[in-house]
Structure 1
């Protein structure tokens, strides 16, 4: 299980609030890191996403000292391969309404013959794959171990 993920965005506070709306969760400032925010799903798993300023990188610190947050001084790419797939408790229509309000791209996509999802582009740059309740069961069925084993065996 993935407990949390960090995403680099242009406006961490705003993106955290929008994702809190999608998740029906709560967004709060990240303690001891001004300008960083966390969105909590408020689920029984403690799921959360950290939103960091786009120019932030994480790098190793001295042994035993943990991670070090650093700012990039060079140009930051617009898009990234980093993304997350999230189940959300709101409807497909609500997702599109939020995307339209924000001016962000949202489109229903078929990833395979087994499931569909909604690509929701934070700031039109960072991808969240959203699974509203009507799409969640398809994804869960497709990713059950026995189904994945059959797919992998066919390759």
Structure 2
């Protein structure tokens, strides 16, 4: 089970506010790790959250028992990391929020389920799943469901 994750953003506050809106949650400053960071909180029973740190923030292990420390590094704009989140909103509502925040959106198939790709700052992919998409995901993302998908000849997207 995932409780929270962190990611870099050029505009951490705007990113946190957008995700909080998708969740029906709230966005707050997040000072514990890096100055200028923000957090989107879902307000659910798991404490689901995404921390947004300024682009270029790097985590480094603290000395001894000291906690993680942040170090300014070179900004990385693209990478293989993404996150999938749930929303109670409709496809049109998600697209409208994306448009308001300058985040391109489109509905895509992942084989046994669909997602809305929302591109934070045009570089970080967030898969947003509506209630119907969550049902598709949950029907496929267990051992037997995934093995059946693979047995049907699933292929890597070109």
| TM-score normalised according to structure 2 size | 0.89
Q: Per-residue displacement from partner, 1:65-94 (whole Å, max 9, x unpaired)?
A: 12111111x3x2321222101111111110
Aligned residues: 152
2:87 counterpart of 1:88: yes
> What is the RMSD of the two structures over their aligned residues, measured on CA atoms?
1.7
- Tell me, which stretches of 5 or more residues in structure 2 are unaligned? 154-158
C-alpha deviation, 1:38, in angstroms: 0.7
Q: Secondary structure at the match of 1:14?
A: helix
Tell me the equivalent position of 1:136: 134
Instruction: Note the C-alpha offset of 1:98.
Output: 1.1
> What secondary structure does 1:22 align onto?
helix
* Structure-2 separation of matches of 1:111 and 1:150: 14
Larger deviation: 127-136 or 24-33? 24-33
**2:118 matched to which residue of 1?**
120
Please give the secondary structure, in 1, of the residue aligned with 2:96: helix
The answer to whether the 8 Å contact 2:56/2:76 transfers is: no
Structure 1 residues 110 and 35: CA distance shift in structure 2, 3 A: same
Query: Partner of 1:21 in structure 2?
Result: 21
Within a 5 Å distance, the mapping from 1:37-76 to structure 2 comes to 37-72=38-73, 74=74, 76=75
- Counterpart residue number, 1:78: 77
Question: Distance between the aligned counterparts of 2:99 and 2:13, measured in 1?
Answer: 19
Distance 2:97 2:152 in 1: 39
In 1, distance between residues paired with 2:43 and 2:19? Answer: 12
> Please, what TM-score do these two structures have when normalized by structure 1?
0.90
| Residue segments in structure 1 that go unaligned for 5+ positions in a row | none
